[in-house]
């Protein structure tokens, strides 16, 4: 399934009333936040303020890098079944996959808890492993943060995993009928429109009428076929193409956020921030910070400011 359509499926799941209700119920039941992230581990994030140690870890670049490595290792481990890992800070995090019709739509994530009472053995082990990762805390602070972290036994965490896995299956059944058609079964006009969007969305303010003329069909007919085949409106697909391009530039280059916004076809920085936050659950700057990527704007500040003023 095309990445853009897979992304739309994640968005639909995230916005389901049943999903939001289950996340609220889980939090009330367990006193842990239940985040829902996409297949790359992006999207909502755990409430790190609930764990003072997690919050302290994310202040430093070394801490963020360690958290990112742990998250990616857990993604690989939870490919098809629930999984749990203990990070080098001594905290447990669980991940439960949500697969719809064989498509990995995302993962439930919860944890940031310690598995046992905060004895000296746990504190010493955490201190040793953190220092190996280039992270050093005052002994008093580390002991206090571990002591303030919620304790959840491995057995209890496993029970929560099984509950979330069962609910994930029920949610998947609900949305199976809403799956977008596989690409090879899409009508030729829709496939042609998708290709046209991908080739033009970054360089022009593309609209439905322009695509309909390119495909030789009426705007109304293309609109209906497009939504039925992809699960997205024409405008939503255009936005997703631009967002995917922007995310790639954010994570693979050091270009400035403003430059990336305009290179990806957005007409203003405010528009870019608004749709990025809605789609990925975080801002461009925070996503880049999570991955430890620094910004090296290739345009001067004055040049970017003039460009922004001309497009707002």
Q: What is the pLDDT of residues 244-290, one digit of tens each?
A: 889 888 888 888 999 999 999 998 999 999 988 887 778 888 888 77
- The verdict on 204 and 279 lying in the same domain is no
d(CA 124, CA 19): 39
Q: How many domains does the chain have?
A: 3
301 has a pLDDT exceeding 60: no
More confident residue, 175 or 11: 11
- The verdict on 89 and 169 lying in the same domain is yes
Give the per-residue pLDDT at 302: 36
- The verdict on 309 and 173 lying in the same domain is no
- The verdict on 114 and 195 lying in the same domain is no
Domain with 122 in it: 3-178
Residue 244 placed within a domain? no
Global pTM reads 0.63
Cα 45 to its chain centre, rounded Å, is 8
Which of residues 163, 178, 193 is at a domain's end? 178
- Whether the Cβ atoms of residue 35 and residue 45 lie closer than 8 Å to each other: yes
Give the per-residue pLDDT at 309: 41
Q: What is the pLDDT of residues 18-28, one digit of tens each?
A: 899 999 999 99
- The verdict on 72 and 186 lying in the same domain is no
- The verdict on 23 and 159 lying in the same domain is yes
- The verdict on 277 and 220 lying in the same domain is no
């Amino acid at each position: 399934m095309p990445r853009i359509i897979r992304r739309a499926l994640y968005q639909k799941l995230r916005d389901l009333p049943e999903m939001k209700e289950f996340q609220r119920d889980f939090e009330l039941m367990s006193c842990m936040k239940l985040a829902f992230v996409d297949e790359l581990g992006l999207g909502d994030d755990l409430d790190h303020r609930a764990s003072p140690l997690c919050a302290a870890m994310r202040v430093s670049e070394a801490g963020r890098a360690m958290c990112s490595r742990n998250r990616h290792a857990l993604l690989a481990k939870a490919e098809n079944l629930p999984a749990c890992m203990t990070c080098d800070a001594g905290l447990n995090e669980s991940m439960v996959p949500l697969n719809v019709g064989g498509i990995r739509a995302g993962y439930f994530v919860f944890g940031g808890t310690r598995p046992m009472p905060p004895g000296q053995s746990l504190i010493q082990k955490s201190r040793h492993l953190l220092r190996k990762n280039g992270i050093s805390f005052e002994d008093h602070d580390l002991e206090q943060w571990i002591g303030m972290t919620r304790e959840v036994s491995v057995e209890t965490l496993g029970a929560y995993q099984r509950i979330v896995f069962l609910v994930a299956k029920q949610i998947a059944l609900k949305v199976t009928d809403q799956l977008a058609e596989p690409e090879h079964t899409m009508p030729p006009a829709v496939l042609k429109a998708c290709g046209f969007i991908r080739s033009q969305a970054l360089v022009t303010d593309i609209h439905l009428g322009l695509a309909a003329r390119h495909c030789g069909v009426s705007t109304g007919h293309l609109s209906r076929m497009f939504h039925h085949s992809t699960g997205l409106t024409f405008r939503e697909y255009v936005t997703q193409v631009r967002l995917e391009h922007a995310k790639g530039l954010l994570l693979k280059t050091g270009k400035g956020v403003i430059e990336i916004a305009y290179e990806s076809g957005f007409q203003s920085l405010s528009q870019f921030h608004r749709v990025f936050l809605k789609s990925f659950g975080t801002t461009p700057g925070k996503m880049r910070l999570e991955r430890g990527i620094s910004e090296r704007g290739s345009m001067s500040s004055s040049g970017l400011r003039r460009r922004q003023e001309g497009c707002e």
